[in-house]
Amino acid sequence: MKWLNPIWAASVWRHLHGFVLLYPALGIITIFLGGVAAWGAFNWSLELTNTEKFCVSCHEMKTHIFSEYKKSSHYANRTGVRASCPDCHVPRDWGHKVVRKIAATNELFHWAAGSIRSDEDFKAKRMKLAQKVWAGMKASDSRECRNCHRNDFMAGGKQTKKAKIMHDLAGPWNMTCIECHQGITHSLPVEFDKEAVMDRLHDRMEKDKVNCRSCHENLARPPAGDGWDKD
Ligand code: HEC
Ligand code: HEC
Ligand code: HEC
Ligand code: HEC
Ligand code: HEC
């Protein structure tokens, strides 16, 4: 190994050293250009790994992820605005993005180790993975959702009645998007109890004396046409 040879290294250093001392301006420019090139390469690699194509190069294998996404309204909709994988999973601002990318090296290890090889492996692990995403989104106050959606930009009058009521309550209840909107793009893990979410909301409504009839014209039945979020 040439690099480890101390005599060789010393001679390289002598040359570099002399170069830097003799031509300080050139030395600084060289270091500066080297820095710019490294910086550019780093950001370029950030961008390359921030595409749906890159994500799907691994996640298409889990038949679920990509095919479910293709059926969701975030993939194709009336107005043609798409949210792709990084839009929801990778922060936009540089600092948070770098942190997420470093954390994502964990995915590389799991991928290399082949911790999810089959459909069954994926199903068995899905709840754990989803919980990790929910926890992250709750901690960031659904930051990535808010890149596109904002409560104060919502034309409440154009939303369904129950959406409007819930969004008005979300503020005072201190709840963030992901606490009500699980499973908007992917199917929910089988262990997840969506009804429990609804029950908790109902308990809260009862406590706060929300008018039940604003959603239930007929209190004996759930509101017409309901399924809460569609999958
Ligand atoms: C090299 C293959 C590979 C690539 C490329 C990849 N992933 Fe993953 N990803 C994995 C593996 C494997 C796991 C499961 C990790 C585990 O078992 O903990 C995972 C887990 C996840 C999770 C679950 C929660 C978490 O944080 O662990 C999300 C969300 C995710 N990936 C999104 C993405 C997005 C978005 C991209 C593109 C920016 C992407 N992945 C690119 C292999 C990959
Ligand atoms: C890149 C922009 C973008 C991001 C990021 C995004 N959305 Fe959306 N979302 C949209 C658009 C555009 C629509 C409208 C689709 C349509 O016309 O049906 C939509 C629709 C929705 C709907 C209603 C339709 C449905 O599928 O139920 C909900 C609920 C929703 N988004 C929640 C979220 C949540 C929660 C997040 C964060 C996890 C999020 N969105 C992230 C752009 C985005
Ligand atoms: C307290 C629960 C709750 C919270 C928190 C919440 N939502 Fe909703 N949201 C709902 C309900 C309920 C609906 C109606 C679902 C339906 O009609 O199936 C809804 C509907 C929507 C729709 C579709 C509106 C329409 O009329 O089609 C969008 C988009 C949406 N929410 C985005 C968000 C975003 C973004 C956040 C965070 C800023 C958020 N929601 C926070 C409960 C909530
Ligand atoms: C609109 C936002 C949004 C988009 C777009 C999106 N995801 Fe997700 N993703 C989520 C949320 C929210 C969860 C947490 C589980 C849930 O609620 O379904 C999640 C969960 C996951 C998980 C954990 C396993 C699971 O199903 O819960 C993986 C892996 C993942 N996403 C990868 C991807 C990949 C790859 C893409 C692009 C093909 C993508 N996501 C597109 C919001 C999104
Ligand atoms: C913001 C709209 C909204 C309000 C306000 C509301 N509900 Fe509901 N309620 C729903 C939805 C949506 C469902 C359907 C849930 C499902 O399909 O799991 C439901 C379901 C129910 C059910 C059917 C049983 C069940 O769990 O599926 C009962 C009973 C009920 N609500 C009672 C009440 C009472 C009592 C109040 C007043 C404290 C109330 N609701 C206020 C939206 C609302």
Each residue of 143-152: pLDDT tens digit?
999 999 987 7
Within a domain: 228 = no
Residues 85 and 140 in one domain: yes
116 near 110, Cβ under 8 Å? yes
Among 98, 55, 95, 74, CA closest to 148: 74
Ligand nearest to the CA of 105: 1
Q: How many A from CA of 78 to the centre of ligand 4?
A: 21
- Give the three-class secondary structure for 175: coil
With the most atoms of ligand 3 within 8 angstroms of its CB, the residue from 78, 87, 176, 177 to mutate is 177
Highest mean pLDDT among 50-54, 202-206, 217-221: 202-206
7 falls within a domain:
no
Q: For the segment 100-147, what is each residue's pLDDT rounded down to a tens digit?
A: 888 888 887 787 777 787 888 888 999 999 999 999 999 999 999 999
Same domain assignment for residues 143 and 175: no
Instruction: Tell me: do 143 and 29 sit in the same domain.
Output: yes
Give the domain extent around 94.
Answer: 23-147
- Is residue 139 in some structural domain? yes
pLDDT in tens, 176-190: 999 999 999 999 999
What's 33's domain CATH number? 1.10.3820
Burial (CB count within 10 angstroms: exposed 0-12, middle 13-18, buried 19+), residue 134 = middle
Q: Which helix (H) or strand (E) holds 213?
A: none
Residue 133: inside a domain:
yes
- Looking at the fold, whether 161 and 126 belong to one and the same domain comes out as no
Residue 9 located in a structural domain: no
Q: Give the pocket of ligand 2 (CB within 6 Å).
A: 73-74, 77-79, 81, 83, 87-88, 142, 144-145, 147-149, 177-178, 181, 184, 229
Tally the domains of the chain: 2
